[in-house]
Amino acid sequence: MKEEKVRLLFVCLGNICRSPSAEAVMKRLVKDAGLGDRIEIDSAGIAGYHEGDRADSRMRAHAARRGYVLDSISRPVCTEDFFDFDLIIGMDHRNIDDLKRKAPDLESVEKIHQMTEYSRNKLYDHVPDPYYSGAEGFELVLDLLEDACAGLLEFMNLSLSSNPDN
Ligand code: 4NP
């Protein structure tokens, strides 16, 4: 039976703080679970103002302290993303509204979810933008992402094992 890949796209505003971190956290969880050949992971931004940039140096430094290497390069979300990815996961309510506005059809809208939907610790209903925050904002992003990505992996493990086509 052919094993289809599930493709995940994490999205935030600039694609230099939250979504590159989500990408790195999820890649590590997926690798540790031995699912690296089943799940593809990428990230993008609503806005293109940081296109071509590496992740924010503060975000990279905080992530590195937890062993994550943020190696993605910022790019804006494009129309093809809505066809290429199975789940498109935004970090806050504004990301979700913007993604819905960009979605080319109804099927694409159904792919849009918010990161905190998968949180196990339900203290936050979004992943706050850390750009103008201090160190605690970057640490909070990583705390929320580690929790929600673990929840997302649990959710995906269930759907991967219950779908006979996968
Ligand atoms: P991100 O954070 O959406 O998590 O990548 C931000 C990055 C840049 C800006 C805002 C948020 N900015 O205004 O340039």
What is the per-residue pLDDT across 75-112, written as a single tens digit (0 to 9) for each? 999 999 999 999 999 999 999 999 999 999 999 999 99
Token digits of residue 58: 């503060």
112 lines ligand 1 (CB under 6 A): no
- The one-letter amino acid at 78: C
15 lines ligand 1 (CB under 6 A): yes
Q: CB of 50 within 8 A of CB of 70?
A: no
Q: Tokens 């809505």 sit at which residue?
A: 82
Token digits of residue 103: 């979605």
Q: Please state the pTM of the whole predicted model.
A: 0.95
Whether 17 sits among the annotated catalytic residues: the reply is no
Q: What is the tens place of the pLDDT at every residue in 14-67?
A: 999 999 999 999 999 999 999 999 999 999 999 999 999 999 999 999 999 999
Whether 149 sits among the annotated catalytic residues: the reply is no
Q: CB of 61 within 8 A of CB of 95?
A: no
Q: CB of 104 within 8 A of CB of 82?
A: yes
pLDDT (mean) for 144-153: 98
Residue 105: other Cβ atoms inside 10 A:
9
Is the pLDDT score of 1 beyond 80? no
17 lines ligand 1 (CB under 6 A): yes
State in Å: Cα 58 to ligand 1 middle.
12
Q: Tokens 């609503």 sit at which residue?
A: 46
If phi > 0 it is left, if psi is from -120 to 50 it is alpha, else beta; for residue 150 that is alpha
Tell which one of 51, 89, 131 to mutate to probe ligand 1, the residue whose CB is within 8 A of the most ligand atoms: 131
Q: Tokens 């975000």 sit at which residue?
A: 59
State in Å: Cα 117 to ligand 1 middle.
21
Whether 78 sits among the annotated catalytic residues: the reply is no
